[in-house]
Chain A
């Protein structure tokens, strides 16, 4: 069997997706034996490949360099997979969406000059190129990555969750943190796949997997939590932490 050629690429981020993959110690060697890894800078010194069957890209598109690199990866790849919240929604750095880039530069670098070829915003990949699959999470879940990779190797179309974290909470029979404890949980608007990780650790979902694309009921969530006494700024800040570029949240952020 010819093994598919796979590349792992990084734009602006913390490389948490790759640390998650390297953290799957029990299955890592088996998993990587299914494919031919032709590029993985974090783990290996090899040169940029001519082309790959599957490109995994993590990080946000934040600089001119990111943009050019991503366009090149797109040209040279069969299937392109966005890995993690940075690649899907621009990451935690996209929570500055709506702030003038000069203001950001001034407050951090003390200059109005555009350093590092900053694009002025931190974007997800699909805002720039065509993306075939999006695996959400900050960071991704190792189990989801394994399933996706195996499906792609077998030529099966991967099925990714299109329902909120609440569904997984119910399946695990965890009492609702909003209803029972009044916590500001973002489970209702956040895409599932983490097996309700935070609620299972007695903590409210902070939305690190990003909004359920096209279906997150942001105004419903806001209304529910406003009724429970949270102030508007707190809630918008919370929702914008990992979802500032989602349409409904972006509108709230802009009107803040």
Chain B
């Protein structure tokens, strides 16, 4: 028996470790164990008023607070029959994009790249790759700049509510922002250059299945339907059929399956299912990379993130210019009279699908909350590919094996804090 343990995974958000047990050629165990402290979010939402929800759920995650705010606002609006106007929709798309830009840049340049370059972190890469790291910081900065302008803060924005925003950006702020984004685009190009030139690890290849949102005409990060890699299309209200969550003994995240098999959600899933909706320079870039993006290799997720980074910068500039052309209106929030109801919404967080589902009473208080996070959905898939990797790499020494397994988990860009806040765990008998 040979036991491999990666204690406390570094360069991922949250606390987790990898455990692999090999018995000769057989993989006895290959799991990502998640041991984040419990925070009881679903419980703290109960009895809270509808307008407090976006501020509370933002605290589940610091890498991706914006998808939480947008998804919860939208689900609550559905529950109470509120419609918001197009300007709010555009600002929300910008809010989702802000997180994709900052999170993908963080992941690609600071969390994933050091592995490929043989460094312990991005700071140590500065001597040799300072230009790359600085371009990465610049594009990440542009993502955060959107957050500052649209949401009021880079982490846990302050203005997103059901019914709209308490403050809309000023014209001058948007003009400055568009300029900053345009000037940062080289960082996105650099991500594509760097990651397309790296050798793609091949030790965890096997056919995979994917789920992503149907964004409508343009490539994007929200919609009312889900697309699956077997060609099905589901309305968001049927999300339970796509998540099929079950509790497992080894992890504080529930495991998901679609048609009996684990699936992947996130940048690679979105790109594979929605690539024909890309436009601009990102579409060209994708055309050149198409052969390198291997649907059966989770490491392709890094390259998919690079394409999305480029697309998101371009798309943000387009959306801002659209707002400036139409003239930004200092709209007040939609007047809300609380009423009982039930609503579901889905958005794409940087690392994949995020479902929010609420029931409210006639005072607008939460009586039921269900949140399904991307990392929880990816958890079973990560274990599946860890098993494949462990089998293929069993000849390596412990240290080498550990590093490869860590790299594999990081390719999913897991966000562990998010994955654990909402689970009903039954212990296995």
Contact = CB atoms under 8 A, between A and B. Distances in A.
Q: Do A and B come from one complex?
A: yes
Interface in A174-225: 197-198, 201-203, 206, 208
B10 A44 contact: yes
B394 interface: no
A139 B155 contact: yes
- The 9 A-B pairs of least Cβ separation, nearest first, read A12-B37, A44-B121, A16-B62, A25-B141, A45-B10, A19-B62, A203-B166, A93-B39, A201-B152
Contact of A110 (B15, B35, B102, B426): B426
Interface in B46-95: 46-49, 52, 55-56, 59-63, 65
B240 interface: no
A158 interface: no
Q: Max chain A CB contacts within 10 Å: which of B42, B121, B423?
A: B121
Contact of A93 (B44, B166, B406, B423): B44
A128 interface: no
Contacts of B60: 14
Contact of A10 (B15, B152, B154): B15
A254 interface: no
A138 B37 contact: no
B35 A14 contact: no
Contacts of B422: 108
B62 A15 contact: yes
Contacts of B423: 108-109
A21 B227 CA distance: 37
Contact of B59 (A16, A25, A44, A110): A16
Contact of A15 (B38, B152, B417): B417
Interface of A: 10-16, 18-20, 22-23, 25-26, 28-29, 32, 37, 40-46, 59-60, 62-63, 65-66, 91-93, 95-96, 99, 104, 107-111, 113, 115-116, 118, 122, 138-139, 197-198, 201-203, 206, 208, 234, 237-238, 241
A116 B152 contact: no
Interface string B196-225: 000000000000000000000000000000
B140 A25 contact: yes
Contacts of B154: 19-20, 23
A193 to B, nearest CB: 13
A22 to B, nearest CB: 7
Contacts of A96: 40, 43-44
Nearest to A10: B15
B425 interface: yes
A211 to B, nearest CB: 17
Given A201-B152, A203-B159, A237-B52, 15 more contacts: A14-B59, A15-B14, A15-B62, A15-B417, A25-B137, A25-B144, A26-B141, A44-B11, A45-B406, A92-B59, A109-B423, A109-B424, A116-B252, A139-B62, A241-B52
Nearest to B252: A116
Contacts of A109: 38, 423-425
B359 interface: no
A42 to B, nearest CB: 7
B246 interface: no
Given A44-B120, A139-B156, A62 B38 contact: yes
A15 B38 CA distance: 14
Contacts of A15: 13-14, 62-63, 417
Contacts of A28: 137
Contacts of B11: 41-45
A107 B368 CA distance: 11
B384 interface: no
Contacts of A22: 106, 110
Interface string B257-288: 00000000000000000000000000000000
Contacts of A237: 47-49, 52
B126 interface: yes
Given A44-B10, A203-B166, A32 B156 contact: no
A206 B152 CA distance: 14
Contacts of A29: 123, 126, 133, 137
Interface string B342-377: 000000000000000000000000000000000000
Nearest to A141: B153
Contact of B138 (A11, A25, A111, A197): A25
Given A92-B56, A111-B425, A118-B37, A44 B159 contact: no
Interface string B165-191: 011000000000000000000000000
A19 B252 contact: no
Contacts of A14: 13, 59-62, 417
B426 A111 contact: yes
A32 B123 contact: yes
